[in-house]
Structure 1
Amino acid sequence: MTRIFLAFFIMTSSLVFSQNKLNLIPYPQNVEIKEGSFILSEVLNMSNDLPKKETDYFRKRMGSMITLKDSKKSDAQLVYSQWPKASAGKEESYSIEILPKRILIQSYTQQGYFLAIQTLIQLFENYQTEKKIPAMKIEDQPKFAWRGMHLDVCRHFFTVDEVKQYIDYLAMYKMNTFHWHLTDDQGWRIEIKKYPKLTQIGSKRKESMIGAYVDNTFDGKPYGPYFYTQEQIKDVVKYAQERHITIVPEIEMPGHALAALSAYPELACTKGPFEAATKWGVFDDVFCPKDETFKFLENVLDEVIQLFPSQYIHIGGDECPKTRWKECAHCQELIKKNNLKDEHGLQSYFIQRIEKYVNSKGRKIIGWDEILEGGLAPNAAVMSWTGVNGGIEAAKSKHFAVMTPGAYCYFDHYQGDPQTEPNAFGGFTPLEKVYSYNPIPDELNAEQAKYILGVQANLWTEYILDFKQVQYMIFPRLMALSEVGWGTSDPKNYKEFESRVIHQFKVLDKMNVNYAKSIYNISGKVISANKGIAYELSTSQNSNGIRYTLDGTTPTIHSKTYQGPVSIPGSLTIKSAYFEDGKLKSAVSSQQFIISKATGKNITLEQLPSENYSFGGAFTLVDGIIGNPKQLGKTWLGFMGKDVAATIDFGQKTDFSEVYFNTLQNKGSWIHLAKSAQIFVSDDNKNFKLIKEIGKAKIENANGKIKLNVGQQSSRYMKLRIENAGIIPAGNPGADSKAWLFVDEIGVN
């Protein structure tokens, strides 16, 4: 009888394990649960042939979790077996077989062994309480060769120890590339021995912008000098190599050069003087493409290449205004001499000249997708950030690309309700959105898709003052990115992934990591309901714990229990929070609704917003929520270089006499007020009659907050056309680039 029960227990235990995913991130490609368990309380004897550096890392991470010994006295052993030479693309493959008295790791390379160690560490952490790990076989390898994270140390600086911590986080979740953004307008952070003024002058600024950009407020405190010595960089590179992470350095050119020009003004098109930027944004003064500039950059790159053994050197190439080049006699002569079409062709000339030099040193360049302007350098790779089109264009022309579109991969965006989050750059990129990303664009065929190297997320630090905030912005989104890069993400089962994330929080707690708890907070979504709107609330926890009020008061455990979407019958403020065991467990979320005759009605847009600022789609413009000008997150739609043409269907003839909408102005971020606006009405959605038109002067006088008396109207359809400012004029940040137009809510009364 005992034997029958034991057999039944083993069988059902195995079934339970097979039905529930292991708490691993990123999830392996193949997991097979077997009978039996490995007992964690035993001494684990280490085979003598284990790779030393990786095994030393394993010992350090294990701490007191399990006793490790270099001995073969016990049956419980960790054994390593190296497979024959790997074929291309298999370098990171590994397998783990866990048996009751033996753990066998196999791989082609020490890198594969290191990745197996990360999986083993997570298994030990997950089963530490139970003191036993189910027997299993894991066979695993990543889908993408480039699984990267970026860190900007120019806007705000982070110490060597903090950078090493950042690298450790990447290693934990099997990332293999660290993109180190070392130079920008606001600071030069790498010692170049041939040009000491780069760090003597360029590594400091007189003050820093604080708060939201639109506040235009500064702290009045000198910042710096902050930079890394070459010895410190060698130390960090070695540290990363021991964790099988490649560091790709970025030296910005031809734009984002103010810090360098503050030290060496002769490299500009004008005489200066210059100083490292105290604001965030894009600035007109850039490197001038003259021989002394190229000699300077070549000398800088010589020292960079000596410090970093990476195949790729990132040369920036983004957001380079052409204002100074247009006014520069040398630049105009260079355009004529080389038969270039225009200043965009001059940018291509600049990048191609740098590429030839980098190639001559046995390395390759990678740059942001603006390096496509005027023609891509012959051997360059593209980092596609403005969307996916840069990556598509590169892959179709047989150039490698790393996908890092802002809409999914910018971790300086808000990850929860902006009202409950620390100040961020803008945008809205929650955990679920990161997890939903597929780095292979649908537009590519199988052959073209081979040129997509992988995926990367970027952390720009304009609003990140310290390393605790760095932790907050990358966790838990780094976990989602790691599974996307590994190729095992499944957006249809996001909730299952979310449960694994919450399990990982226990590990981060032990490490004292300041991760974001946004998924615990209440998330609100406006939906169409009964010819109006309703507010759908959700949390990662049991929704029965949500309490809410409709009178603007703070919810308590005795407030209304959420039982489904809440109807919004008129203008009001809803506040909500999550309670567990009678205690408040989340931030209090608050949302004000201003209801008009357009709220909740069908709306269509002739042109779609930018993917970075498209949350909620067209419905965002009739969801009853007025956008906060300091938070370009959930409640605004952003259109780059495009007009807004929105048609609202009231469903029946409707009387109205007033139309309102808001646009923004934030020239430092290339956001300009609309040039004009027109309102039309129709009864058949075909023949529209113009009933109101306003120009730029009236929009500027109202500071973008437009409320128009349109006379007594009665129609089924209303169309609002808002004209984008177009190309940004000279003298403004981003001159010659497309302006942004932001719109929040279209109201009708």
Structure 2
Amino acid sequence: MQRLLSTIIFILLFSNIVFSQTKLNLIPYPQNIKINKGEFIIPDVLVLSNHLPKEETKYLKTKLKITFQESNNRDAHIVYSKLQPSESSIKNDEFYTLTILPHQIQISSYTNQGYFLAIQTVIQLFEEFKNEKKIPVLKIEDYPKFSWRGMHLDVCRHFFTVDEVKQYIDYLAMYKLNTFHWHLTDDQGWRIEIKKYPRLTQVGSKRKESMIGAYVDHTFDGKPYGPYFYTQEQIKEVVTYAKERHITIVPEIEMPGHALAALSAYPELACTKGPFEPATEWGVFEDVFCPKEETFQFLENVLDEVMVLFPSPYIHIGGDECPKTRWKECTHCQELIKKNNLKDEHGLQSYFIQKIEKYVNSKGRKIIGWDEILEGGLAPNAAVMSWTGIKGGIEAAKSGHFAVMTPGSYCYFDHYQGDPQTEPNAFGGFTPLEKVYSYNPIPTELNEKEAKYILGVQANLWTEYILDFKHVQYMIFPRLMALSEVGWGTSDAKDYKEFEGRVINQFKILDKMGVNYAKSIYNISGKVIPNGPVVAYELSTSQNTKGIRYTIDATQPTINSQVYQGPIPVSKSWIIKSAYFENGALKSAISSQEFNTSKTTGKSIILEEQPSENYSFGGAFTLVDGIMGNQKQLGKTWLGFQGKDATATIDLGTKTEFSEIYFNVLENKGSWIHLAKSATVFLSDNGKDFKKVSEISKEEIQKAKGKIKINIGKQYSKYIKIKIENAGIIPAGNPGADSKAWLFIDEIGAL
């Protein structure tokens, strides 16, 4: 009997230790949490202190499906105390403590905002333990690392109703984000009522048709779109709704580029006479605002109405992707450059932004813009939203300007998050959940003082290919959860699998809400790795890899197919198909990957210039991994170089015989991607002394439509070097004219 009693005590003690060390299913995870012995039993009637902050408690009641009653602090189940700042306290408006005792839940904070964040944690805990009807006794001290934790929504390419925007704001609140960046104007539509300029919505809120399918297909639906816009009363309604959830709305009014919808209504604001119409396709267009007095008067009047509607400290003025073609051809612009001793059209952009900033500052507000506002010199008090990479944020912080980090390679949620063959149509790129979770918003190039200028992190959702709100949900979930934890400052890339488990638990909440989230993490993902003389294909899933079945002959995998036991050696051209099975049933989409091996596959490769951060997935090895580039996978199967040549040297290991070199380059002018200007092949036996053996011209590359095969005769060499020349500056008449062209390359092979 004594032995049995000792065993029971040991089991109870051990279970308490295990329970106290297991992470709860909270997202974002708190900064400090201690789980203690004991439980708070969830009552049938939850008694709330009548001293709780009223508006936030009203929100709590809508989220917890339970009966409530109010009482005084002494016998309430949930009580609140307001903290008083002291010299030693954490001075953060969003700080809160949450203490769960066997008889009571205690919340304290400096502000109602902190209380609101605490109740988000309470809601998640009630959801997690609703079946057990008891929550562990615990103590949380919590606060975010970053003050700007944002999500963006483009309503110009495709419009979303007031109710849908409110749902979007609710999603942000659930996961403790605090900033909603509302992209309200662009080439394809003007979505905000401006009473002084009614034609902005009469003309600019509709377009005659919309582009559909892949950009390169250049097809249209032939259906009028709009008029769609928000009245000022609707804007006020949304702003109030967000404020109740402690979310700041930052409106974006695009300038000087992305202005076609506005110019369609008021063509006199352009450098040319027009006529103009809202854009029916995606991309960048040459007609922009002309920096003349009537334009500035127009923009000031617009901003006056915007600033009345939105109380946010920052007003986003865009500033990105502004072609300079019209300014170069405009007499007024050229005279303005001379009159103000500006260096060039980039200096004119800085002049434009600084003039707008001065006006916005005079109204007690600040501007923020995309990182192109750095061109020609940054306005004195401007903040930068760094999207083309991290360089803009680094430059801003080093010069004492605030920055929000939103690099496309980590924070663009219009990219694919899984295998494009199993995903709805997307802009391109490849940004899976794990990559979002791995992001650190503080660049290593910044010292401690400079790092303080990084306000935080934001993800962006551009809607060229997102036609309805269900698709919006699919693109932001579950990636919004990763962004949430990155912004809170508790993410750790090495703990991704643990985070993934919490995400899967959160899916239960999204299911109850009817949210159409992406299930990509259930699918098989593949990674090519070096493997002796060639490569191997490594498969993974959020589930047990023992459930993976695969084939190498392009047939569909079944429960009786080969069981995955480790990386699959690939020594010849195969099509590997894989899927996850559980209890004999197919549980995932079927993933397919084609391999085309050559004498360079899996070999050592060095690049002289590194690709853009946004398009560098897999690094140089992507060029010799045996996978041909897919236009839908710009961020996964291609390397992208903006304004730079690509020079690669491949070490074959030993002297090898071959007679043909092949590679792929991409053309998609709407996305500023141009075919190479030329390509040159060099060979060497020692890796130092290279001999030129062939060159191919721009005309030959165009004729081959980017699929380049160079016959070099019978050769016998150890090293292959290939230099692929970038197209340079994009010529007039093309999207992005006067900007640096992109060069996309993939799979350098030898036969």
Q: Same fold (TM over 0.5)?
A: yes
Query: 1:631, CA displacement in angstroms?
Result: 3.4
Paired position in structure 2 for 1:78: 78
Q: How does 1:407-486 map to 2 (within 5 A)?
A: 407-486=409-488
Shifted more, 565-574 versus 159-168: the winner is 565-574
Q: Look up the match of 1:235.
A: 237
Contact 2:404–2:454 (8 Å) recurs in 1: yes
SS in 2 for 1:280: coil
Distance in 2 separating the partners of 1:438 and 1:25: 17
Aligned partners of 2:225 and 2:725: how far apart in 1? 41
Change (3 A) 1:574 1:299: same
In the alignment, structure 1 residue 601 sits paired with structure 2 residue 603: yes
Tell me what 1:404 maps to: 406
How far off its partner does 1:177 sit? 0.2
> Does residue 353 of structure 2 align to residue 351 of structure 1?
yes
Q: 1:15-57, CA deviations, whole angstroms, 9 ceiling, x for partnerless residues?
A: 1222211110000000011121001244321001000110010
What corresponds to 2:58 in structure 1? Answer: 56
Corresponding letter in the other structure for 1:80: Y
> Displacement, 1:520?
0.5
CA drift of 1:11 comes to: 3.6
Provide the residue aligned with 1:149 in structure 2.
Answer: 151
- The 2-side partners of 1:623 and 1:5 are apart by 56
The equivalent of 2:665 in structure 1 is 663
SS at match of 1:376: coil
| Aligned equivalent of 2:16 | 14
1:89, distance to aligned residue in structure 2 (A):
4.6
Q: CA deviation at 1:9?
A: 6.2
Residue 73 to residue 663, structure 1, CA distance change in 2 (3 Å):
closer
> Partners of 2:50 and 2:564 in 1: how far apart?
59
CA distance in 1, matches of 2:397, 2:15: 47
Instruction: Give 1:135-284 correspondences, 5 Å limit.
Output: 135-284=137-286
SS of 1:745's partner is strand
- CA positional deviation for 1:420: 1.4
Alpha-carbon distance, 1:322 to partner: 0.2
Q: Deviations over 1:416-458 (max 9, x none)?
A: 1122111111111111110110000001100000100000000
Change (3 A) 1:580 1:736: same
Contact 2:70–2:76 (8 Å) recurs in 1: no
Q: Which runs of 5+ in 2 are unaligned?
A: none
Structure-1 residue corresponding to 2:537:
535
The yes-or-no answer on 1:640 pairing with 2:646 is no
Aligned-pair distance for 1:569?
2.1
Report SS of the residue matched to 1:735: coil
Alignment-mate amino acid for residue 689 of structure 1: K
Tell me which amino acid in the other structure corresponds to 2:226.
Answer: G
Q: Partners in 2 of 1:7 and 1:121 — Cα distance?
A: 33
Confirm or deny that 1:571 pairs with 2:573.
Answer: yes
Q: Deviation per CA, 1:118-146: give whole Å up to 9, x if none.
A: 00000000111111111000000000000
TM-score by length of 1: 0.98
Which amino acid in structure 2 is aligned with residue 717 of structure 1?
A: Y
Q: Which amino acid aligns with 2:587?
A: K
Distance 1:5 1:31 in 2: 30
Query: How far is 1:72 from its partner?
Result: 5.4
Distance in 1 (CA, whole Å) between partners of 2:7 and 2:687 is: 72
Distance in 2, Cα, partners of 1:397 & 1:490? 29
Equivalent residue letter for 1:167: I
Q: Secondary structure in 2 aligned to 1:746?
A: strand
The CA distance in 2 between the partners of 1:711 and 1:566, in whole Å, is 34
Which amino acid is the alignment partner of residue 361 of structure 2? N
Partner of 2:720: 718
Q: Secondary structure at the match of 1:359?
A: helix
Q: Which residue of 2 aligns with 1:304?
A: 306
Q: Which residue of 2 is the match for residue 503 of structure 1?
A: 505
Distance 1:123 1:388 in 2: 36
* Residue aligning to 1:29: 31
Other structure's SS at 1:70 match: strand
Count residues with an aligned counterpart.
Answer: 747
Q: In the alignment, is the contact (CA less than 8 A) between 2:429 and 2:632 conserved in 1?
A: no
Deviation at 1:630, TM superposition (A): 3.8
Displacement of 1:10 in angstroms is 5.7
The code of the aligned residue for 1:69 comes to Q
How far residue 747 of structure 1 moved from its aligned partner, in angstroms, is 1.1
| SS of match in other structure, 2:388 | coil
Identity between Structure 1 and Structure 2 (%): 77
CA distance in 1, matches of 2:424, 2:389: 25
Give me the CA root mean square deviation: 1.4
Q: Distance in 2 between matches of 1:45 and 1:165?
A: 28
Distance, in Å, in 1 between the alignment partners of 2:111 and 2:7 is: 44
Which residue in the other structure is 2:631 paired with? 629
Q: Distance in 2 between matches of 1:706 and 1:356?
A: 52
Distance 1:48 1:4 in 2: 47
Q: 1:387 to 1:89 in 2, by over 3 A?
A: farther
User: C-alpha deviations, 1:313-346, integer Å up to 9, x for none?
Assistant: 0000000000000000000000000000000000
- TM-fit CA distance, 1:629: 2.3
Matched-pair contact (CA < 8 Å) for 1:43–1:76: no
Please tell me whether the aligned partners of residues 75 and 101 of structure 1 are also in contact (alpha carbons under 8 angstroms).
no
Does the 8 A contact of 1:42 with 1:76 survive in 2? no
Counterpart in 1 of 2:102?
A: 100
Please tell me whether the aligned partners of residues 431 and 480 of structure 1 are also in contact (alpha carbons under 8 angstroms): yes
Q: Deviations over 1:343-391 (max 9, x none)?
A: 0000000000000000010000000000000110000000000011100
- Which among 609, 614, 617 is matched to residue 615 of structure 1? 617
CA shift in 2, pair 1:268/1:156, >3 Å: same
Contact kept in structure 2, 1:602 and 1:649, CA below 8 Å: yes
Cα deviation digits, residues 631-665 of structure 1 (max 9, x gap): 32311111111111011111000000011111111
Q: Of residues 44, 47, 50 in structure 2, which corresponds to 1:45?
A: 47
**How far apart, CA to CA, are the structure 1 residues paired with 2:46 and 2:14?**
27
> Is the contact made by 2:207 and 2:277 (CA closer than 8 Å) also made in structure 1?
yes
Residue 88 of structure 1, CA deviation: 8.3
Moved over 6 A (4+): 1-7
**Mean alpha-carbon deviation: is it higher for 415-424 or for 188-197?**
415-424
Task: Confirm or deny: 8 A CA contact 2:49 2:73 kept in the other structure.
Answer: no
- Residues 187-217 of structure 1 show CA distances to partners (whole Å, capped at 9, x for unaligned) of 0000000000000000000000000100001
Q: State the SS of the aligned residue for 1:227.
A: coil
Decide which moves more: 39-48 or 732-741: 39-48
Q: Which whole-Å deviations, capped at 9, do the CAs of 1:593-640 have from their partners, x for residues lacking one?
A: 111111111111111111111111111111111112243231111111
Distance change >3 Å, CA 464–CA 83, structure 1 → 2: same
Are 2:51 and 2:73, in contact at CA under 8 Å, matched by a contact in 1? no
State the AA in 1 paired with 2:427.
F
Counterpart Cα distance in 1 of 2:494 and 2:557: 32
Alignment partner of 2:690 out of 674, 688, 700? 688
Residue 281 of structure 1 aligns to a residue whose secondary structure is coil
Contact residue 255 and residue 318 of structure 1 kept, 8 A? yes
Secondary structure at 2:71's aligned position in 1? coil
Deviation string, structure 1 residues 517-537 (Cα, Å, up to 9, x no partner): 011000001111121011100
The letter of the residue matching 2:71 is: S
CA–CA distance in structure 1, aligned partners of residues 52 and 73 of structure 2: 17
Mark the CA change 1:118 to 1:650 in structure 2 (over 3 Å): closer, same or farther: same
CA contact (8 A) 2:151 2:172 kept: yes
Query: Partner residue of 1:729?
Result: 731
- Aligned partners of 2:257 and 2:287 also within 8 Å: yes
In the TM superposition, 1:359-398 aligns within 5 A as 359-398=361-400
1:138-160 deviation line (CA, Å, top 9, x unaligned): 00000000000000000000000
